[in-house]
Chain A
Amino acid sequence: MPRRDASKDIILFGVNYKTAPVEVRERLALTRENRPVRFVFERLPSCQELVFLSTCNRVEVIAASSNARKTREEILEFWKGISDMGLNAIEGCCYDYSGVSAIRHVFRVASSLDSMVVGEPQILGQMKDAYRLSLEEGCSGQLLNKLMHKAFSVAKKIRTETRIASQAVSISYAAVALAKKIFGELGGKKAMLIGAGEMAEIAAQHLKTNGIGELVVANRTLERAVELSRTLGGKAISLEELDDALIGTDIVISSTGAPGVIIEKDRIKKIMRPRRHRLLFFIDIAVPRDIDPGVNDIDNVYLFDIDELKEVVEENKQERQKEAIKAERIIEAEVIKFQSWLKSLDVVPVIKGLQEKAESIRRRELERTMKSLRHLDEKDVLAVERLTRSLVGKLLHDPIIYLKKGADMEDREEVLYMISRLFALNGLGQTVSLEDYIENKARRGKRAVSSKGDC
């Protein structure tokens, strides 16, 4: 079980591709096999809950701690221990968030707004894995559970309500998306690779995962064609057999290193009749180009070269940026909601304390009075009982409403502290201690600017 303590703050400490080079990131990272999250958790005694996120682009510690400063130091110490780096070097490339900014960061990461390729889908899965691991190891508790679940639902909301992930932002994805706009479903379609470049291979992989029916690899040297077709699961042919093979092909990805055009317009024109004019889609990612640009003028033949694909990708990226603005707005709203839930957390013990104290006073006084009122019959006893109950209830009604509503108010800690003192609510010392009060007051001064924007 995670260590228990009533008043915790969410802190986030980490590095990502913007703040640290890969040499640093890999030294701070943890792999599941050798150092599970439990390992870190044991080395951070001041922290009550922990999720450790480690991907190729970021290493982040998400923690709930009642002593944020101490936890921060412990994290730095821990990283110093595993990385052989100086404290200053680590601190120099770390970002350090707490409270609202930590919540916002977690939401942004989950929604892939903080990713290198905005809108990429992997990060959410990686985050879910990190959280599951933390849960299995017993390192996550009420606060982080809520935070992570909320982050996942925010990410889902953004995915459905904005089009942040709907655009292809790599050349091979763009090529597949175009093929889908021409052929609809790719199942049963035949693709051909001419030449064996790396980008063509990636595009072919994408086509495969999108259910392409058959794959043919044509290459100048048959040997390389055979080799590649084996890894991709297709058939190999030599360039001499190209024309015949083209008759049965729907999608052609060309990426040879040939110095000039290898497929002329007339050649394609001739095969259109035997093809029964079925649509033919050329993707030319070779530089210099392999396919005569005039091919695009033939009916039912579509040609995209590398520059045109790049343009598509560029446009899509801009579209994503626009969608990202919408997503940020959703995140702001969710951060505010989460924050008020968080604040309501430390109101709860005070309300409970008030109710318990009042109830115990009521019972004690009632008992004492009843001893001297033995002549009352059962009905009267019940009436007195009801009277005391309603007195207590009415008296506490307004303060409780005030506290519940006041979860968002600026001087919340102060109010909680005053009420605990005023009613001498024992046992709430660790929730709202004087030190806490002072510390919070000081911190509030610091983040006044940001919290103004949130309220």
Chain B
Amino acid sequence: MDRFVFQLTFFTYIAATAGYFVNLITLRREVEKIATCILAGGLCLHTISIILRWTYGRHAPLVSFYDVFSFLAWSLCAAFLLFQAGHKLKALGAFVSPVITLFMILSLMHPNRILPLPPALQSFWLPVHASISIIAYALLTLSFCISIMYLIQEHHIKKKQLGGLFKRLPSLQVLDTMAEKCLKIGFPLLTLGIITGSIWAEQAWGAYWSWDPKETWSLITWLLYAALLHQRLTVGWRGRKSAYMTIIGYLTLLFTFIGVTYLLPGAHSYAT
């Protein structure tokens, strides 16, 4: 049942993505509104599928890759819709919805069976640590998307190519401010994710920090984002440099999130 709802969600997201692209090409406002409605509908379906899995498995569905990507897509979708409700950033949908769809595909590529929870993971901290970290990832994904938009727009203005996307993207300053806003919410959450993780580690393994590859890479990611925010707030870094840093930070984050599990196995591997 949850699988069916999940697949339905997937197709709804694809439809919304298509809608955002049509809006980007034709500039028809009503298409964007429809796409947003479809996306919101998808989010409802997605929520149902997650709740279903929770009731089937009797533990928060945040253990396998399937669940983690699913929850990431869910968080990104929710964060995007909340963000748009407040800011209505032009053309953002066309940049975020493909990423949501991509996370859904990554989720669908992994087996979806619900395994009994290994004893090490049976803790109150599992849903807290995992959900906070993933919501942080979602917000940093959003700032990544906005930074990509910034770089495209800034390229158009620098090179004086004022057709196509130039007309469709928001102004530089708005993009920069919005990327910063996402960073400012995402970074504290990332910090909180690491702190809750280390508290949990202390309870499960008896040490707050054991330099396992995932922990090391989390620290590297955290330092990168910390440096970026520091430069922004003190020296006034903004624009292109900041956008590049956001992208580098995000790529590191992706490596921490996915790459480490595949390439550098340790205590943090996801159940597959």
**Residues on A facing B (Cβ under 8 Å):** 163, 178, 180-184, 273, 275-279, 296, 299-300, 302, 304, 308, 311-312, 315
Contact of A279 among B160, B162, B239 (CB under 8 A): B239
Beyond A183-B172, A277-B238, 16 additional contacts (C-beta under 8 Å) are: A178-B157, A181-B157, A181-B171, A184-B170, A276-B236, A277-B235, A277-B241, A278-B238, A279-B238, A279-B239, A300-B240, A302-B157, A302-B158, A304-B160, A311-B160, A312-B160
- Within the complex, what minimum Cβ distance (angstroms) separates B114 from chain A? 47
Residues of A within 8 A of B153 (CB): 181
Contact of A181 among B166, B238, B239, B241 (CB under 8 A): B166
- Nearest CB of B to A27, in Å: 43
B236 x A184 contact (CB < 8 A)? no
Contact between chains at B162 and A277 (CB < 8 Å): no
Residue of A whose beta carbon sits closest to that of B175? A184
Quick check: B162 and A300 within 8 Å, CB to CB?
no
Instruction: Name the B residues within 8 Å of A183 (CB-CB).
Output: 171-173
Contact with A along B147-180 (1 / 0, CB 8 A): 0000001000110101100100011111000000
Kindly list chain A residues whose C-beta atoms are within 8 Å of the C-beta of B27: 163
Is B237 among interface residues, defined by CB-CB distance under 8 A?
Answer: yes
B-side contacts of A308, CB under 8 Å: 160
Listed A/B pairs (9) with beta-carbon separation below 8 Å = A181-B166, A182-B172, A182-B173, A183-B173, A276-B235, A279-B238, A296-B158, A299-B241, A312-B160
Majority SS of interface residues in chain B? loop
**B239 is contacted by which of A178, A184, A299, A315 (Cβ under 8 Å)?**
A299
Q: A184 with B174: in contact, given A276-B236, A304-B160 (CB under 8 Å)?
A: yes
How far is B153's CA from A393's CA once the two chains are assembled, in angstroms? 70
CB proximity of B246 to chain A, nearest CB, Å: 15
What's the nearest-Cβ distance from chain A to residue B147, in Å? 14
Which B residues contact A (CB, under 8 angstroms)?
Answer: 27, 153, 157-158, 160, 162-163, 166, 170-174, 235-241
Nearest-neighbour CB distance to chain B for A367, whole angstroms, equals 62
Please pick, from A180, A275, A278, the residue contacting B171 in the complex, using a CB distance under 8 A.
A180
How many angstroms between the C-alpha atoms of A315 and B210 in the bound complex? 61
Question: Which residues from chain B contact A279 at a C-beta distance below 8 Å?
Answer: 172-173, 238-239
Question: Which residues of chain B have C-beta atoms less than 8 A from A181's C-beta?
Answer: 153, 157, 166, 171-172
Report how far A180 CA is from B239 CA in the complex, Å: 16
Closest to A250 in B: B173
Q: How far is the CB of A314 from chain B (nearest CB, A)?
A: 11
Question: Which residues of A sit under 8 angstroms from B241, Cβ to Cβ?
Answer: 277, 299
Complex-state Cα separation, A277 to B236, whole angstroms: 6
Q: Which 9 A-B pairs have the closest CB atoms?
A: A276-B236, A184-B171, A184-B174, A300-B239, A277-B236, A183-B173, A184-B173, A182-B172, A181-B171
In the assembled complex, how far is the CB of residue A420 from the closest CB belonging to chain B, in whole angstroms? 50
Question: Are A300 and B238 touching (Cβ within 8 A)?
Answer: yes
Cα A312 to Cα B171 with chains together (Å)? 17
Q: Which residues of B contact A302 (CB under 8 A)?
A: 157-158
Tell me the bound Cα distance from A271 to B171 in angstroms: 23
Q: Please give me the residue from chain B that is nearest to A305 by CB atom.
A: B160
Complex Cα gap A41–B209 (Å): 94
| B residues near A276, Cβ cutoff 8 Å | 235-236
Measured CB to CB, the nearest residue on chain B to A308 is: B160
Q: Which residues of B contact A299 (CB under 8 A)?
A: 239-241
B170 to chain A, nearest CB (A): 7
Give A167's nearest chain B residue, CB to CB.
B167
A184 to B160, alpha carbons, bound, how many Å? 18
A315 touches B172 (CB 8 A): no
In the bound complex, residues from chain B placing their C-beta under 8 Å from that of A315 are: 162-163
B234's nearest neighbour on chain A, judged by CB, is A276
Query: How long is the Cα–Cα vector from A425 to B267 in the complex, in angstroms?
Result: 101
Closest to A181 in B: B171
CB pair A278 B236 closer than 8 Å: yes
Q: Taking CB as reference atom, which chain A residue is nearest B169?
A: A181
Residue of A nearest to B153 (CB): A181
Cα separation A328 to B158 with both chains bound (whole Å): 36
Which chain A residues lie closer than 8 Å to B160 at the CB level? 304, 308, 311-312
Closest to A183 in B: B173
B179 to chain A, nearest CB (A): 14
Chain B residues within an 8 Å CB radius of A180: 171
Contact B236 A312 (CB under 8 A): no
Bound together, the chains give a CA A55 to CA B53 distance in angstroms of 71
Q: In the bound complex, how far is the Cα of B105 from the Cα of A398, in angstroms?
A: 65
**Which partner residue on chain A sits nearest B162 by CB separation?**
A312
| CA distance in complex: A11, B187 (Å) | 70
How far is it, in angstroms, between the C-alpha of A182 and the C-alpha of B154 when the chains are bound?
9
Smallest CB gap from A309: residue in B: B160
B96 nearest CB across to chain A (Å): 20
Contact of B157 among A182, A184, A311 (CB under 8 A): A182
B165 nearest CB across to chain A (Å): 11
Among A182, A276, A300, chain B packs the most CB atoms within 10 A around the CB of: A300
B27, B162, B235, B239 pick with most chain A CB within 10 angstroms: B162
- Taking CB as reference atom, which chain B residue is nearest A275? B236
A312 and B174 CA atoms in complex are apart in Å by 22
**Chain B residues with CB below 8 A from A184, complex form:** 170-174
A246 to chain B, nearest CB (A): 16
Docked CA distance A302–B159 (Å): 10
Q: Bound complex: CA of A183 vs CA of B166, how far in Å?
A: 14
> CB-nearest residue of chain A relative to B163?
A315
With both chains docked as a complex, state the minimum distance between the C-beta of B260 and any C-beta of chain A, in angstroms: 33
Alpha-carbon distance A300/B235, docked complex (angstroms): 14
Question: CB-CB < 8 A to B240: which residues of A?
Answer: 299-300
Instruction: Give complex CA distance A182, B158 in Å.
Output: 11
- Complex contacts, A178 vs chain B, CB 8 Å: 157, 162
A183 to B163, CA, bound (A): 18
Measured between C-beta atoms, what is the minimum distance from B265 to chain A in Å? 41
